[in-house]
Amino acid sequence: GSYCGNHLLEVPEQCDCGPPETCTHKKCCNPKDCTLIDAAQCGTGPCCDKRTCTIAERGRLCRKSKDQCDFPEFCNGETEGCAPDTKAADLEPCNNETAYCFGGVCRDPDRQC
């Protein structure tokens, strides 16, 4: 079942900012019952503006690229969650075609040994 205070948005929660003593989004989310406060549109997601409790505009960066084989993700303007993490296909050339992507990381086969 769901557990209010575990930082995971589960049914029937509207938000989950963790336990009351560590919740940093009290303006948007009530940590005692995991409900949105007043007119808040969102509570805790990476695409939620914590100052205004509104969903961030489409195109705002929500997850940076970690590597040339890992792509950045952006807010969709409709939900507070970030798009799923996307990576280049395994064996896709990278590093000016001297290496290959594997698991979202650019790996040089000559340096693997």
Segment 20-45, tens digit of pLDDT: 999 988 899 999 999 999 999 999 88
CA atoms within 13 A on the CB side of 97: 0
Main-chain dihedrals φ then ψ at residue 6, nearest 5 degrees:
-105, 10
Q: Please give the structure tokens belonging to residue 95.
A: 């590093």
Check: CB of residue 13 under 8 Å from CB of residue 34.
yes
pTM greater than 0.85 (yes/no): no
Maximum CA pair distance of the chain? 58
For the sheet containing 93-94, what is the strand order? 93-94, 99-102, 105-107
Where do the structural domains in the chain lie, given as residue ranges?
A: 1-55
Is pLDDT at 113 greater than 60 in this prediction? no
